[in-house]
């Protein structure tokens, strides 16, 4: 359906989240300058996706998520959640989303079951539709249902935060660093639940500092840095943008001479394997192999390694891991020039 037919609403309806020109400036207290945590972010999260929001400490991820959750008030911009504008339809937009925050903000005097009941009440879930026991079971907290929250371990508190986010069956589930400091069992439980919920049609937005996790879990990724979005693409495309290649060669006999070729770095590893690094847009694999043959090395086996998300992330953000430097609008947008986007 075209925009004309729907009065311009069709493109709103296909996104889980649509953010335009989002800004957040925290007031500085105690002689501190104000902080521009978000500097005009545009972001669209497709429905049904597992969407990763990545960026170094202080990039603005939690600020963005807390604005979605209604916990932080934005300074400027428009946010629509499941097609509902946050300002015009605050109730519908709030009901569409469940947020597991980064901070452990639990009332110490509630039991897990009590906390879920209160949360269900806040969201107007009728008694007959409440599934507290089911959700406690899902997050592995059934045996702690009647324990005071203050007696729960850190990992159990995280489970309870996830349970609270699920109480009103939101269409969008947002997880802010769900696996920071949690044990392997909880991490596996979380990802199994995320996959299951996503299969049931829930859109997932998550932040994580474990890039392997993001690479494995997310269909699409946005990278933010110093309050600005510096990349957004499918995980596959993001990885495809990096043209750095590593070729590892298992030689037939111990290597006597390292191959030499322009724009190729060669090194011998302790295990006797030869490691060659090059850029695929500068150098062909054929010419790398040719230089190996010219050095008199016979190749028993060969494999190549492509860049992973960590490489992409570092290339995009490493030049600006300087949150301590005051914001200077005269400075060029840092990081962007480091890789071709």
Ligand X SMILES: Nc1ncnc2c1ncn2[C@@H]1O[C@H](COP(=O)(O)OP(=O)(O)OP(=O)(O)O)[C@@H](O)[C@H]1O
Residues at the contact surface with Mg ion, assessed by CB under 5 A: 61-62, 102
Name the residue whose CB lies closest to Mg ion: 62
Which residue's CB is nearer to Mg ion, number 56 or number 251?
A: 56
Which residue's CB is nearer to Mg ion, number 102 or number 132?
A: 102
> Is 23 a residue that touches ligand X (CB under 6 A)?
no
243 contacts 311 by C-beta, under 8 angstroms: no
How far is Cα 113 from Cα 247, in angstroms, rounded to an integer?
55
Binder of ligand X out of 17, 18, 51, 62 (CB under 6 A): 62
> Is 99 a residue that touches ligand X (CB under 6 A)?
no
Q: List the single partner that 60 binds among ligand X, Mg ion, none, CB under 5 to 8 Å by kind.
A: ligand X
How far is Cα 174 from Cα 66, in angstroms, rounded to an integer?
10
Q: Tell me, rounded to whole angstroms, the distance of Cα 262 from its chain centroid.
A: 37
Print burial letters for 57-66: b (CB count within 10 Å at least 16), e (below 16): ebbbbbbbbb
How far is Cα 122 from Cα 79, in angstroms, rounded to an integer?
22
Q: What angle do CA 222, 34, 320 make, to 5 degrees?
A: 40
| Token pair in block for residue 66 | 């807390």
> Is 18 a residue that touches ligand X (CB under 6 A)?
no
Q: How far is the CB of 17 from ligand X (least distance, A)?
A: 16
> Is 179 a residue that touches ligand X (CB under 6 A)?
no
Q: List the single partner that 63 binds among Mg ion, ligand X, none, CB under 5 to 8 Å by kind.
A: ligand X
Number of Cβ within 10 Å of residue 37's Cβ equals: 21
Binder of ligand X out of 58, 77, 114, 140 (CB under 6 A): 58
Rounded to 5 degrees, φ, ψ at 155 are -65, -40
> Is 205 a residue that touches ligand X (CB under 6 A)?
no
Per CB under 6 A, the segment of 59-67, 210-218, 255-263, 326-334 that binds ligand X is 59-67
3-state secondary structure of 309: helix
Binder of ligand X out of 12, 20, 26, 219 (CB under 6 A): 26
> Is 37 a residue that touches ligand X (CB under 6 A)?
yes
Per the listing, tokens 């480091």 go with 338
Q: Contact residues for ligand X (CB under 6 A)?
A: 26, 35, 37, 55, 57-63, 102, 323
């Amino acid at each position: 359906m075209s925009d004309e037919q729907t009065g311009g609403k069709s493109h709103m309806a296909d996104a889980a989240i649509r953010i335009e020109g989002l800004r957040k400036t925290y007031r500085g207290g105690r002689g501190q300058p104000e902080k521009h945590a978000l500097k005009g972010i545009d972001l669209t999260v497709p429905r049904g996706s597992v969407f990763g929001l990545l960026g170094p400490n202080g990039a603005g991820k939690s600020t963005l998520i807390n604005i979605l959750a209604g916990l932080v008030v934005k300074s400027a911009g428009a946010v629509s959640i499941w097609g509902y504008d946050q300002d015009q339809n605050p109730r519908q937009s709030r009901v569409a989303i469940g947020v597991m925050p980064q901070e452990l903000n639990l009332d110490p005097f509630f039991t897990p079951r009590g906390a879920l009941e209160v949360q269900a009440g806040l969201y107007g879930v009728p008694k007959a539709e409440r599934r507290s026991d089911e959700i406690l079971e899902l997050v592995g907290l059934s045996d702690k249902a009647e324990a005071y929250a203050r007696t729960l371990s850190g990992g159990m508190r995280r489970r309870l935060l996830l349970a609270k986010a699920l109480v009103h069956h939101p269409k969008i589930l947002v997880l802010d660093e769900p696996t920071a400091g949690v044990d392997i069992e909880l991490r596996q439980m979380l990802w199994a639940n995320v996959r299951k919920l996503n299969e049931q049609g829930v859109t997932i937005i998550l932040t994580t500092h474990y890039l392997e996790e993001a690479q494995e879990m997310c269909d699409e990724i946005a990278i933010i840095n110093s309050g600005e979005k510096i990349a957004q693409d499918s995980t596959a495309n993001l990885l495809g943008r990096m043209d750095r290649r590593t070729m590892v060669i298992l030689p037939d006999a111990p290597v006597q001479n390292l191959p030499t070729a322009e724009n190729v770095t060669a090194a011998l590893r302790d295990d006797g394997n030869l490691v060659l690094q090059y850029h695929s847009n500068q150098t062909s694999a054929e010419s790398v192999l040719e230089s190996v043959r010219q050095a008199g090395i016979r190749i028993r086996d060969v494999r190549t390694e492509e860049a992973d998300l960590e490489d992409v992330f570092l290339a995009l953000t490493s030049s600006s891991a300087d949150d301590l430097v005051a914001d200077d609008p005269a400075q060029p947008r840092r990081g962007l020039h480091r890789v071709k986007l």
